[in-house]
Amino acid sequence: MGRKKAHRYDDVYNFPNVIKIFPGDDSISENMERLKQKISDFEDNIIIELGCGKGEYTLGLARRYPERFIIGIDIKSDRIWRGATNAIQEGLYNAFFARIRIESILDFFHENTVDEIWIPFPDPQSGESKANIKKRLTSEKFLEIYRKILKPGGSVHLKTDDDNLYHFSKESALNSGASLIYHTDDLYNNNFYNISDSCIEIQTTFEKKYLKKEKKIKYINFTFSDLSGNS
């Protein structure tokens, strides 16, 4: 680990808007209480970003929805450091970051407590091996977790430039009993009917790079409630 990364790794856990929750850690009880208190402060009005990286989407959502509690989740503490630093500098007190393994979020969020889940530009895990497929954040294994923590009517948003992940995610959602609220394989060449403004207005560094390369951005929004999907 480089010196800069090591410094960020050690420093980030002193931030008031960052927690680490790993089973077996001595501080897990204290950190869980901090998380519960923050959730209570916002009256359970929660949005989660999975694989938040430097927190660009978390920060964008926090700016747009100051009344909502936005939690960016990632496994890399040096990435979280950047997002948490920017949140503090901007005074975004509704933005929070957690170093949690996505596979274990059900251990830390009660059932039916999350309003929305955002997954902007995850690793598509392009290989077709069983190991790659299981790691995709829209695989049926993960969707079952999302189903449990989402409130009734809560939804999942996916943005990607990857064709395979886009088609895989639609199929996976339908196989899991989800209803497609909206999906498009070309987000910025569309009439934007029924699309969340957050999906259009907030762009990560990755997305901006893809757009410069004239790649088409795909978007899917689905819920586990019974709704009629749009093509």
Please indicate, yes or no, if residue 189 is contained in any of the structural domains: yes
pLDDT recorded at residue 228 = 43
Is a pLDDT exceeding 80 seen at residue 23?
Answer: no
pLDDT grade for 27, boundaries at 50, 70 and 90 = low
In DSSP terms, 141 is beta-bridged to none
Please pick, among 10, 41, 107, 123, the residue that the annotation labels catalytic.
Answer: 123
pLDDT recorded at residue 79 = 85
Q: What is d(CA 24, CA 28) in angstroms, rounded to the nearest whole number?
A: 7
184: nearest Cα among 214, 153, 159: 159
pLDDT grade for 230, boundaries at 50, 70 and 90 = very low
pLDDT recorded at residue 149 = 93
Q: Where are the beta strands (DSSP E) in 26-177?
A: 46-50, 69-74, 95-99, 114-120, 150-160
Please indicate, yes or no, if residue 86 is contained in any of the structural domains: yes
Please indicate, yes or no, if residue 231 is contained in any of the structural domains: no
pLDDT tens by residue, 86-128: 999 999 999 999 888 888 888 778 889 899 999 999 999 887 7
Structure tokens at 110: 């009660």
Please check whether residue 73 is in contact with residue 100, taking contact to mean a CB–CB distance below 8 angstroms.
Answer: yes
Structure tokens at 159: 């943005």
Angle formed at CA 92 by CA 34 and CA 212, multiple of 5 degrees:
120
Please indicate, yes or no, if residue 230 is contained in any of the structural domains: no
Does this model's pTM top 0.85? My answer is yes
Please indicate, yes or no, if residue 229 is contained in any of the structural domains: no
pLDDT tens by residue, 178-191: 999 999 999 988 77
Please indicate, yes or no, if residue 133 is contained in any of the structural domains: yes
| Cβ neighbours around 18 below 10 Å, total | 24
Domain span including residue 54: 3-223
User: Is residue 123 flagged as an active site residue?
Assistant: yes
pLDDT grade for 200, boundaries at 50, 70 and 90 = confident
Domain count, the chain: 1
Is a pLDDT exceeding 60 seen at residue 9?
Answer: no
Please indicate, yes or no, if residue 228 is contained in any of the structural domains: no
Please indicate, yes or no, if residue 52 is contained in any of the structural domains: yes
pLDDT recorded at residue 97 = 93
pLDDT recorded at residue 1 = 47
The CATH number of whichever domain residue 214 belongs to comes to: 3.40.50.150
Query: Kind and range of the H or E element at 219?
Result: strand 218-223
